[in-house]
Amino acid sequence: MSEEKLRFDLSEYQARLDKARKSMDHAGLDLLVVTDPANMGWLTGYDGCSYYVPQCVVVSKDKDPMWFGRRMDANGCRRTAYIGEDRIKWYGDEYVQSNTLHAMSLLGQIIQDEGYGSCTIGVEKDSWCLSVSSFEHLSASLPNATFKNADRLINWQRLVKSPREIEYMRGAGKIVKAMYDRIGQVLRPGVKQSDVIAELSYVGTRGIDSWWGDYPACVPNLGAGADASAPHLTWTDRPIRADESIFFELAGVHKRYHCPLSRTYYLGKPSQQILDAEKAVLEGVEAGLEKAVAGNRCEDIAIAYSGTLARYGFEKTSRSGYPIGMGYPPAWGENSASFRAGDKTELQPGMTFHFMSGLWYGDWGIEITESILITDGDVEFLSSVPRRLLVID
């Protein structure tokens, strides 16, 4: 593929490969089988909605990365990744959902033929896209190899973003701002939830200015009234009602890079319960943001946030943040660090996080979150939606 069509310069992909190989050395790996679609894309540029069948990128210390996947998806690799033709390996459709053949057995034979049949191989055992059957067939086809768990080995290398990655995320932040602007225009009592989602989905796909909208790794979450107690419910055809809160958790996306953001609306006069929760959350977020400084640790943000909540009689039992960047379904989190007590990950300039400050209780909830960039100075917000309970009279 020509370099001008890649989303990043070849030099950036080479730097990522170098980081991956150093992490392999540290983990004692000779070969790494990468099945997480975001990790595959980060390493090579590959971008295809093909993760429902076996596919991977294989990284060694002495050869260019190898893409392995379904024959019909090989052209997708040629169109999106920098990988040369000799490193594109595929399997035919006779392997797809077969009771007698499995693609990962073929991959094992390829690895054997390349001289790695007796080496130490890392696999992402907790990857959503590595099934039990896939691992069993791969390991059975390489009886002389030693397999080690390499969960999140690549994920940790993605924490600090490059200037181009940050540029894409700022663009995603503009898109999510446009989505919330549209929600404010159409959210009224009597309007169906599905109609509101249709409007924001249109804006999210159309994008804004030069920033076109990619598909999100997770569909919009919506909780209205008592359903706001459940953070991962989606929309129905139920009409929007007056005198209840409704939260949205959604993301602007550009070139697979996400900027998630949550806001809570209230149609009518907010209840005292919601107002008290808003005050606690906003003060807690401010306390956490004061700790979002290079050199501090992830847990510092969580502890500051939770401590403020406690003074108001609230408690957050889940983590209060996670890293974001490139993402594929089913989630946009990077699966490495977390804002929670005990996470000693040092904050560095270029790290990006979703400060997930949501609270959920028995029959109500509130979400007012921020996506942030750690810098050499003050924290940067990747979007500019007003941080407050959004009241519609």
Q: Write the DSSP string, 277-327.
A: HHHHHHHHHHHHHHT-STTSBHHHHHHHHHHHHHHTT----S-S-EEEEEE
Q: What residues does CATH 3.90.230.10 cover in the chain?
A: 163-392
Q: What is the pLDDT of residues 283-330, one digit of tens each?
A: 999 999 999 999 999 999 999 999 999 999 999 999 999 999 999 999
Q: Is the pLDDT of residue 4 over 90?
A: no
Q: What is the pLDDT of residues 81-108, one digit of tens each?
A: 999 999 999 999 999 999 999 999 999 9
Q: What is the fold, at CATH topology level, of the domain defined by 3-157? A: Creatine Amidinohydrolase; Chain A, domain 1 (3.40.350)
Q: What is the pLDDT of residues 201-230, one digit of tens each?
A: 999 999 999 999 999 999 999 999 999 999
Is 31:138 a contact under the CB 8 Å cutoff? no
CA pair distance 220, 263, nearest whole angstrom: 12
Q: Scan for tokens 């390991």, then name that residue.
A: 139
Mean pLDDT, all residues of the chain:
97
Q: Is the pLDDT of residue 132 over 80?
A: yes
Is 189:216 a contact under the CB 8 Å cutoff? no
Q: What residues does CATH 3.40.350.10 cover in the chain?
A: 3-157
Query: What band does 393 get if pLDDT is binned at 50, 70 and 90?
Result: confident
Q: Is the pLDDT of residue 5 over 90?
A: no
Q: What is the pLDDT of residues 9-32, one digit of tens each?
A: 999 999 999 999 999 999 999 999
| pLDDT of res. 100 | 97
Percent over 70 (pLDDT), the chain: 99
Q: Is the pLDDT of residue 1 over 70?
A: no
The pLDDT of 323-347, averaged and rounded, is 98
Query: For residue 173, which of 66, 73, 55, 253 has the smallest C-alpha distance?
Result: 253
> Which tokens in the block code for residue 17?
């490969």
Q: What is the pLDDT of residues 232-256, one digit of tens each?
A: 999 999 999 999 999 999 999 999 9
Q: What is the pLDDT of residues 254-275, one digit of tens each?
A: 999 999 999 999 999 999 999 9
Percent over 90 (pLDDT), the chain: 98
Q: Which CATH superfamily is domain 163-392 in?
A: Creatinase/methionine aminopeptidase superfamily (3.90.230.10)
Q: Give every CB contact of residue 20 below 8 A, 6+ residues apart in sequence.
A: 32, 43, 59, 153, 154, 157
The pLDDT of 47-52, averaged and rounded, is 97
